[in-house]
Structure 1
Amino acid sequence: MKRRIFESLIDRYLHKKANKAEQSLIDQWYDTLDQEELPVEEVDEVQLWEKIQERIRSTAPKKSMVRKISYWSGAVAASLLLCFGILFWKQQHELNLIAKETHLEPGYRIFETGASQRKRVLLADGSTVVMNAYSKIKLDTVSYDRRDRVVELLAGEAFFEVKKDSAKAFIVNAQEIQTRVLGTSFTVKNYAELDDISVSVFTGKVQVTTNNNSLGVLTRGEEIRYSKNSHHSSSRAFDLATRNSWIEGRVYLKQSSFAELALAVKNIYDVDIKTDDQRIAQQRYSMPISKQLSWSATLESIKAIHHNKSRKEGRIVHIY
C-alpha cells in the first residue's frame, strides 16, 4: 500500500468516514502498537504493515472476488484484509485524490504503563522503546518517519534503541528538553516526583538541547541531568551495568535521595512511602530494590540504613 494511501485511510478513520472493513483494519494495526508487556516477545508492527500490503497486492480485480465478499467478511481477521484489498482496488483513484487534497490532521497515539509494569513498543521504522512503570509516551502515527522521527515522553522513563537513518533524525521531547540522534541507544527519565530530567547514553552519540540552547553532546557512558526548577544542567559518568536494571525489575540506588528511593519503591511495589521529617528527606540511600525481594523485607532494609521507623496509614507508609 502506498504510504499516502495509508495516511488518507488514517484520516478517514479519525474523521469517522471509514466503513466497517476500513475501521477493522486500522483498529487491528493500532492495537498491535500497544499490546506488549515485557517479557512477552515483541509485536512487529512493520511485519503487520507488510502483511496488509501483501494482501492488497495479491488481490486481483476480478468479478469472482466480488461475489465472494459476503463469505469472506464473516470469516477470520485475514479475510477482512482481503475484502479490504478489493475495496482498495475499486477506490484507488478516489483515494489518490483524497491524499492529494486533504490536509491530514495528526493521529496521536498514547502508550502508557502502570505500577510494576514494563512495556516494549516497536515503532514503524524498526526502532524500539522500552517503558518503565508509570510512564507515558506520545506518538504521531501519521507523520512519524515521514521526515524526522519524533516521540514525546510525557512522563516516566524510557529506553530507546534507534534504528540508524542518516536522513531522518530521531527526536525525543521531554518538557523543554530535546534529545536528537541518528542511530543510537539511550534512556530519558522525566518523573514528576523528581526535580531533574536525565539523558543517559549507552551507544553512539546524542545531542541534548533546551529551548534551542545546547546542553552538550553525550557519548557512551555519559549522562546529563537538567533541573526543572533551577534550569541548570550537569554532566557525569554513570554505571552502564546497572543504569537500566529496571528493565529486569531491579533498581540499584547509589547515594540516592529519599525522592529517588520513594520512586523506585512505587515503580516496583506500587507502595507510596513519605516522610514529614526534613532530616529524613535529606538522607541518602545505597541499596538494591528488587521484585525478587518481598516488600516487608525491603522496608526493613530501608529503615535499618538510617535507623528509622515506619507506620502505615492506608496505602501510604510514613518513614519517621
Structure 2
Amino acid sequence: MKRKVFESLIDRYRQNKASANERRLIDHWYAELDKEDMPQYHVDENQIWGKIHRQIGNTPTKKMAFQKMLYWSGAVAACLLLCLSVLFWSRENDHAQSRKEVLLKPGFRIFETGVAQRKRVQLADGSTVILNARTKLKLDTVSFDRKDRIVELLAGEAFFDVKKDSTKAFIVNAQQIQTRVLGTSFTVKNYTGLDDISISVFTGKVQVSANSNPLGVLTRGEQIRYARNSTTSKRENFDLLTRNSWIEGRVYLKQSSFAELALAVRNIYGVELEAADNLISRQLYSMPLSRQLSWSATLESIQAIHHNKSRKEGNKVLIY
C-alpha cells in the first residue's frame, strides 16, 4: 500500500496532475534537499528505498491524517525523483563533456602513396581524390565538411573530382597556394623536386590564390604555374588528353625540363636521376614513360634524345 501511494504520487507529479498542496509539499522537500550533499556518480537505489520505507513505516498510519500521510509520501517521492535526476544528469553531463572534448580535438589522417603507386580516396562529402605516386594528402577528419571542405596536399600530385555543394567551398592548400572551388575537377601538383606548383582545370571553374593574393580564375583547359622562389605565376593552356595520363600509369613529356623527367622516372621506377652539369639540367625532353617499359630500355631512350651517357653512382644514375 505504501509503495502504491508512493508510485501514484510520482505519476501525478510527472504528468503535472498533482494538486497545489501536493506540489507545495514536493517543492518544500526539494528545498530541504538543496542543503544536503548529493552523490554525483553513485546512487544506491536500495538504500534510498530503505530510507523511504522506514520513514513511511515509522509513521502511525492509524493516527495519521490523510494530509500528513500525503506529505511524507510526497516528500519521499520527490527525494527519489531528485536522486535519480541527479544521477542521470551527472552521467549525461559527463558523456556530453566527453563527446565535446572528442569533437574539439583535431583528428588528422594522412593518405599516402609510394613509388609506382596510385590510390583512389573517397571523401565523406562524396568527392573523389586520385593520388599520384609519392603523394601525401592531409585531412582533418573532425572539421571537414562542417563549414568548408578543406584538405592539404603536403607533397605530390592529386586529381580532385569535387562533388558540387553551393553552401560549402572545397579548398586545397598546397604550401602558399590555395585552390577554391564549389564543384569541379582539377589537378594540383606540388612535388618538392620542382620549382613550381601547378593547378590544372578539367571541368568547371577554379579560383587560385597565393598567400591570400588572387592569381586568377581558371576554366577548362587552363592552368597556372606558380614559382616558389620568385613568387611569380604563369597562366597557360594544357593538353587535356595527356595531362592526367599518370592515372593510367603513363607520363607524356612534351618539351619538359630535366627536373620533370627526373620526377617522372622517380615516380615510375624509383630511380634517382641526376644531371652532371648545368648544360644537362637545361635540356628539354619529349617522350613517353610507362611502367610497362623496362628501366634499361627507358634509360637508353633518355640518353638517345641528346646523345648523352649515364653511369650509376650509389643510388643515383648520373646523366652526362
- Indicate whether the TM-score tops 0.5: yes
The equivalent of 1:181 in structure 2 is 181
Alignment of 1:306 with 2:290, yes or no, is no
Aligned position for 2:169: 169
Tell whether 2:293 aligns with 1:293: yes
In the TM superposition, residue 101 of structure 1 has moved relative to its aligned partner by 6.9
Deviation at 1:271, TM superposition (A): 0.6
How far has the Cα of 1:100 moved from its partner? 5.0
Q: CA deviation at 1:103?
A: 6.4
- Report deviation, 1:96: 3.7
Q: Give the match for residue 236 of structure 1.
A: 236
Displacement of 1:162 after TM fit? 0.4
Alignment gaps of 5+ in structure 1: 1-90
| Equivalences for residues 30-41 of structure 1 within 5 A | none
1:210 to partner: Cα distance: 1.0
Task: Using the TM superposition, give the Cα deviation of residue 95 of structure 1 relative to its aligned residue in structure 2, in angstroms.
Answer: 3.4
Query: What CA RMSD, in Å, does the superposition of the two structures yield over aligned residues?
Result: 1.5
Q: Which whole-Å CA distance do the structure 1 matches of 2:278 and 2:176 have between them?
A: 30
In structure 2, C-alpha distance between the alignment counterparts of 1:318 and 1:103, rounded to whole Å: 51
Deviations 1:194-213 (A, max 9, x none): 00000000000010001111
Structure 2 counterpart of 1:314, one-letter code: G
- How far has the Cα of 1:214 moved from its partner? 0.4
Write out aligned runs for 1:190-209 (5 A): 190-209=190-209
Question: What are the residue-to-residue correspondences of 1:259-270 with 2, within 5 Å?
Answer: 259-270=259-270
Distance 2:127 2:189 in 1: 18
Name the counterpart of 1:144: 144
Distance apart, 1:315 and its partner CA:
2.1
The match for 1:48 is: none
Q: CA–CA distance in 2 between the matches of 1:146 and 1:96? A: 19
Amino acid at match of 2:164: K
Any idea what SS the aligned residue of 1:166 has? coil
Distance 1:286 1:93 in 2: 66
Asked whether 1:247 is paired with 2:235, we answer no
Identity of paired residues, percent?
73
Residue aligned with 2:312, SS: strand
Write out per-residue CA displacement over residues 123-166 of structure 1, whole angstroms, 9 at most, x where no aligned residue.
Answer: 10110110111110110001100000000000000000100000
Provide the C-alpha distance between the structure 2 equivalents of 1:95 and 1:128, rounded to a whole number of angstroms: 34
Counterpart in the other structure of 2:114:
114
Assess, with a 3 A threshold, how the Cα gap between structure 1 residues 101 and 285 changes in structure 2: closer, same or farther.
Answer: closer
1:98, distance to aligned residue in structure 2 (A): 3.7
- Please state how far the C-alpha of 1:111 moved relative to its aligned partner: 1.1
Distance in 2 between the 1:316 and 1:164 partners? 45
- Tell me, what secondary structure is at the counterpart of 1:126? coil
One-letter amino acid matched to 1:125: D
- AA in 1 matched with 2:242: T
Question: How many residue pairs were aligned?
Answer: 230
User: Aligned-pair distance for 1:276?
Assistant: 2.1
Q: Is the alpha carbon distance of 1:211 and 1:304 closer, same or farther for their aligned partners in structure 2, counting shifts above 3 Å?
A: same
Task: State the SS of the aligned residue for 1:234.
Answer: strand
Deviation, 1:314, is 2.5
Question: Which is higher, the Rg of structure 1 or of structure 2?
Answer: 2
Distance in 1 (CA, whole Å) between partners of 2:246 and 2:100 is 46
Runs of at least 5 residues in structure 2 that lack an aligned partner in the other structure: 1-90
Q: Secondary structure of 1:242's match? A: coil
Shift of 1:92: 7.2
Worse-matched range after superposition: 98-107 or 173-182: 98-107
* Superposition pairs of residues 85-164 of structure 1, within 5 angstroms: 95-99=95-99, 104-164=104-164
Once the two structures are superposed, residues 245-296 of structure 1 have per-residue CA deviations (whole angstroms, 9 ceiling, x without a partner) of 0011100000000000000000001111101211111000000011111111
